[in-house]
Amino acid sequence: MRITVFAVALFTSLAAVAKDGGQAPNFFQKIQYENAPLPSPDAGREFLDLPNGKRLDHLSVKGRKLSLVTGRGAAFTERKQKEFDTLYEEGKSVEDAPVQWVLMNLDTGNVIDQSLSADMKMFGASVSKIFVGATLLAEREGDLSDRELHKLAEMISVSSNVAWLDLQRTIGGGNADEGRRKITEFTSNMGYNRTRGFQGYLGKIHGNELTASELGQFLHDTYWNRYDGAEVLWKVMHTCRTGGRKADKYLPGDLYLGGKTGTYSGTTVHPETGASKNPDGSPFRVNVRHQVVVFKHNGTQYGMALLTNKASNEHVALLAGGLFRKHIL
């Protein structure tokens, strides 16, 4: 396990801090494991092979075998370009813009572009399922039972809420709160300090709160295999079927995509204040249409996180398609 590496790095770092009188670093951001990045589907049919010898395309979810996903290739017309330009400028200049986003080069970890408030917390909806999956895999050192692997596929590929709650309890040995605690431990240890990746409440702490910027960091850490089992989650994410009306829509039809979506319309609490009501007394409501997406183009691996609590699927689709054309094509 990588805990041994962390312990050595932690001791060394603390000694350096004591000597220099400085502030303690964020250890999990500083440690660079000597891992190669994970492959993309361009690597060929073996991409669907898991480390334990199983193949993802031998699993069926909702009556269909898992398979790789590509962009939908919808036409990005001149009108769509203008709509993107408006959204983009708003995101760059308005603090509370409808969509918050980050585009990252996953090979280097450099942010290529991001909205003004990419660190704004939002209700995460089903995007937070990736943290449940990552925690389970880290707990199991990447080796899931057949049942757990099938539940993971259901949770990521078709966004099953039943599988989500099941796996959160599984992480906690049958106790949902213990599962929430372990998910919180995982996100904290990875350095995602504004992320609450669990479903429901842990005591009085409301879960399921995410930021675009930390989601970008998570995609980078997953691609570089920086927690046990990252390869399994990376590959299962490339079977996600639910992005056709969101980020997948305007991305090229020959571009392999991985990721996770989130959709929810209803009441919740304000992620920054915890308030359940607006200043005028009305309930705090959201219209979540999120997606994280990864893809490789011309030899470079990219990741996007696009979050909105008040826009539409089309807004997310326009930003994904527009950012791809602005920075990558």
Which pLDDT tens digits describe the chain residue by residue (329 residues)?
Answer: 444 344 434 333 333 333 334 443 333 333 445 689 999 998 788 999 999 999 999 999 999 999 999 999 999 999 999 999 999 999 999 999 999 999 999 999 999 999 999 999 999 999 999 999 999 999 999 999 999 999 999 999 999 999 999 999 999 999 999 999 999 999 999 999 999 999 999 999 999 999 999 999 999 999 999 999 999 999 999 999 999 999 999 999 999 999 999 999 999 999 999 999 999 999 999 999 999 999 999 999 999 999 999 999 999 999 999 999 999 99
Find the helix or strand (DSSP H, E) in which 234 lies.
helix 230-237
The CA distance from 192 to 205, in Å, is 16
Beta bridge partners of 64: 61
Count: domains in the chain: 2
Could you tell me if 161 and 18 lie in one domain? no
- Name the pairing type of β-strands 100-105 and 300-307: antiparallel
Instruction: Judge if 230 and 247 occupy the same domain.
Output: yes
Phi, psi of 322 (to 5 degrees): -70, -45
Q: Are residues 59 and 11 in the same domain?
A: no
The token duo for 256 is: 């392999």
Residue 297's identity, in one-letter code, is H
Q: Residue 20: its pLDDT value, please?
A: 38
Do 69 and 9 reside in the same domain of the chain?
no
Residue 247 sits in a domain of what CATH number? 3.40.710.10
Residues with Cβ within 8 Å of 15's Cβ and at least 6 positions away in sequence, in order, are: none
Same domain, 139 and 13: no
In whole angstroms, how far apart are CA 136 and each of 186, 240, 243, 259, 260? 10, 18, 24, 18, 17
Strands (E), 46-155: 60-61, 64-65, 69-70, 100-105, 111-114, 122-123
Separation CA 247–CA 32 (nearest Å)? 30
Question: Same domain, yes or no, for 149 and 279?
Answer: yes
**Domain encompassing residue 239:** 32-327
Can you give the pLDDT at residue 33?
Answer: 55
251's CB contacts (< 8 A; 6+ apart) are: 71, 72, 73, 257, 293, 295, 320, 321, 324
Task: Write the single-letter amino acid at 219.
Answer: L
Same domain as 113, residue 151? yes
pLDDT the model gives residue 50: 96
Residues 10 and 53 in one domain: no
Residues 137 and 230 in one domain: yes
The pair of three-digit structure tokens given for residue 208, joined into one six-digit string:
């399921």
What per-residue confidence (pLDDT) applies to 178?
98
- Are the C-beta atoms of 284 and 270 separated by less than 8 Å? yes
Q: What pLDDT shows up at residue 45?
A: 83
Indicate whether 12 and 77 sit together in one domain: no
Note whether 22 and 62 are same-domain residues.
no
Q: What is the spatial distance between Cα 225 and Cα 33, in angstroms, rounded to a whole number?
A: 8
Residues 241, 186: one domain? yes
